Amino acid sequence: MFRRAPRDIDAARRALLLTAASWSLAGGIIGGLAGWFIGVGVLIGFIAGFSVTFLVSLAIVEGAGKVSGTIHNPSGKSTPVVHEYSYPKSLAIHGRYEDAIDAYQVCSTDYPEDPEPYVRIGRICRDNLSQYDEALLWFKRARSEATVNPGLDLLISQEIIEIYTRRLNMPERAIPELARIAEQFANHPAGESAKLELNRLRERLRE
């Protein structure tokens, strides 16, 4: 089942607030030292330093998203910039896979034409959570809902085939994907390989 967008947005919002708060601790400590130094008190200095740093951090984090939207959806004839998705990537790197999925799903809502969030979610589900059916859904959503070039289309098909043949041990379910590659890439080595594998698989199933 797909995660609901409101929960994803709330989770991403909570993560942003926690990130801003963690940065603010350093500001609070510096403010406390400054308060002690100038004689207004450590507590007052800490509160002032924490509050100012928190507001500035939150503005930076939220403002980055707004600026990203302006950059990646430019008006006129300016050249679009590739989305970085540094925040969900950092969550995945630190093992916060569910939070990373939530953040990527928000990105897929903001940039539905970009296949990267769909593919990233599919890979997390497959490689880190062993949620193979969920991974298949996200890979297929990337093809059906986003704008996919032929190279990525081929890569996604191969990743779907890998799940069916190696993760789920259901090679017969890979037949439609192999047939699709063989047809769409008939004049490409990938198409020839898919055709050979398709014939081998059908022969094995007949036996």
Confidence at 194, pLDDT banded by 50, 70, 90: very high
Q: What is the mean pLDDT of residues 139-159?
A: 95
User: Does residue 167 sit within a domain?
Assistant: no
Q: Which amino acid is at 56?
A: V
User: Does residue 43 sit within a domain?
Assistant: yes
How many structural domains comprise the chain? 1
Judged against a pLDDT cut of 50, whether residue 133 lies above it is answered with yes
User: Does residue 165 sit within a domain?
Assistant: no
Query: What are the distances in angstroms from CA 27 to CA 42, 61, 83?
Result: 13, 16, 30
- What residue numbers bound the domain in which 17 lies? 5-69
Query: What are the distances in angstroms from CA 148 to CA 75, 118, 189?
Result: 22, 11, 20
Q: Which residues touch 10 (CB under 8 Å, ≥6 apart)?
A: none
User: Does residue 26 sit within a domain?
Assistant: yes
Query: What are the distances in angstroms from CA 97 to CA 88, 121, 122, 123, 179?
Result: 9, 9, 11, 11, 33
User: Does residue 38 sit within a domain?
Assistant: yes
Q: Which of 18-32, 100-114, 178-192 has the lowest mean pLDDT?
A: 18-32
User: Does residue 21 sit within a domain?
Assistant: yes
User: Does residue 79 sit within a domain?
Assistant: no
Query: What are the distances in angstroms from CA 145 to CA 21, 22, 80, 89?
Result: 36, 36, 20, 22
The token duo for 6 is 């409101």
**What 8-state DSSP symbol labels residue 166?**
I
Q: Which amino acid is at 31?
A: G
The token duo for 144 is 């059906």
User: Does residue 85 sit within a domain?
Assistant: no
pLDDT in tens, 21-41: 555 565 556 655 555 556 656
65 or 187, which is more confident = 187
